[in-house]
Amino acid sequence: MANARRRTVLVAAGALIGSPRGAWAQSSMRTIGFLVAGTRFSHGQWVAAFVQRLGEVGWTEGRNVPIDYRWADGRLDLAAQLAGELVSRRVEVIVTSGSAVVAAVKRATAEIPIVFAAAGDPVGAGLVASLSRPGGNVTGLSIQQTDLAAKRLELLRAVIPGLARVGVLANVGGPSVLLDLRELEGAARALRVELIPMEIRRGEDIAAAFDGLKGRAEAVYVANDPLVDSHRQQIQALALAGRLPAMYGSREHVESGGLMSYGASFSDLFRRAAEVVDKILRGAKPADLPVEQPTKFEFVFNLKTAEQLRLAVPTSVLARVDRLIS
Sequence ranges of the domains in the chain: 2-143+266-295, 145-264+298-325
Burial class (CB in 10 A: 0-12, 13-18, 19+), 93: buried
User: pLDDT-derived band of residue 20, with 50, 70 and 90 as boundaries?
Assistant: very low
**Is the CB of residue 182 less than 8 Å from the CB of residue 153?**
no
Compute the distance between CA of residue 143 and CA of residue 303 in angstroms, rounded to an integer. 26
Under DSSP, the state recorded for 23 is H
Please determine, for residue 308, whether its predicted confidence score (pLDDT) is greater than 70.
yes
118: left (phi over 0), alpha (psi -120 to 50) or beta: beta
Rounded Cα distance, 173 and 225, in Å: 10
Higher-confidence residue: 310 or 41?
A: 310
**Could you tell me whether strands 165-171 and 114-119 are parallel, antiparallel, or unpaired per DSSP bridges?**
unpaired
pLDDT of residue 18: 36
14: pLDDT strictly greater than 70: no
Q: Share the mean pLDDT of the chain.
A: 88
pLDDT in tens, 244-259: 999 999 899 999 899 9
Task: Note the pLDDT of residue 315.
Answer: 94
In this predicted structure, the answer to whether residue 15 has a pLDDT above a threshold of 50 is no
User: Which stretches within the chain are classed as H helix?
Assistant: 2-18, 23-27, 40-56, 76-88, 99-108, 145-159, 175-191, 206-211, 226-230, 232-241, 251-255, 266-281, 303-308, 315-318
- What pLDDT is recorded for position 146? 62
What does the pLDDT look like over 45-82, one tens digit per residue? Answer: 999 999 999 999 999 998 999 999 999 887 878 999 99
Reported as a pLDDT band with limits 50, 70 and 90, residue 120 is confident
Q: How far apart are CA 64 and CA 93, in angstroms?
A: 14
- SS3 readout for 269-326: HHHHHHHHHHHHHCCCCHHHCCCECCCCEEEEEEHHHHHHCCCCCCHHHHCCCCEEEC
98 or 107: which leads in pLDDT: 107
Checking if the pLDDT of 7 tops 70, the result is no
Query: With a threshold of 0.85, does the pTM exceed it?
Result: no
The predicted pLDDT at position 42 comes to 84
For the beta carbon of residue 195, count every other beta carbon within 10 angstroms: 19
8-17, 86-95, 275-284: the lowest-pLDDT one? 8-17
Q: How confident is the model at residue 22 (pLDDT cuts 50, 70, 90)?
A: very low
Helix or strand (DSSP H, E) at 166: strand 165-171
pLDDT at 155 over 80: yes
* DSSP codes of every residue in 201-218: SSGGGHHHHHHTTTTT-S
Confidence category of residue 271, pLDDT binned at 50, 70, 90: very high
179-232 pLDDT, tens digit per residue, is 788 889 999 999 999 999 999 999 999 999 999 999 999 999 999 888 898 899
Q: Quick one: fold of 145-264+298-325?
A: Rossmann fold (3.40.50)
Whether 145-264+298-325 and 2-143+266-295 are alike in CATH topology: the answer is: yes
Angle ∠(229,50,117) on CA atoms, nearest 5: 60
Multiple choice CATH, 2-143+266-295, 2.60.40.790, 3.30.413.10, 2.50.20.10, 3.40.50.2300: 3.40.50.2300
Which amino acid does the sequence have at 32?
I
Per-residue pLDDT band at 145 (split at 50, 70, 90): low
**Angle (nearest 5°) at CA 273 between 233 and 262:** 40
Q: Which residues contact 311 (CB under 8 A, 6 or more apart)?
A: 159, 160, 245, 259
Q: Is the dihedral of CA 283, 286, 288, 293 positive or negative?
A: positive
Q: Is the pLDDT of residue 10 over 80?
A: no
The reported pLDDT for the residue numbered 138 is 98
Note whether 37 and 118 are within 8 A (CB). Answer: no
Residue 37: the pLDDT is: 84
Task: Report yes or no: 260 and 254 within 8 Å, Cβ to Cβ.
Answer: yes
Q: Report the percent of the chain where pLDDT is more than 90.
A: 70
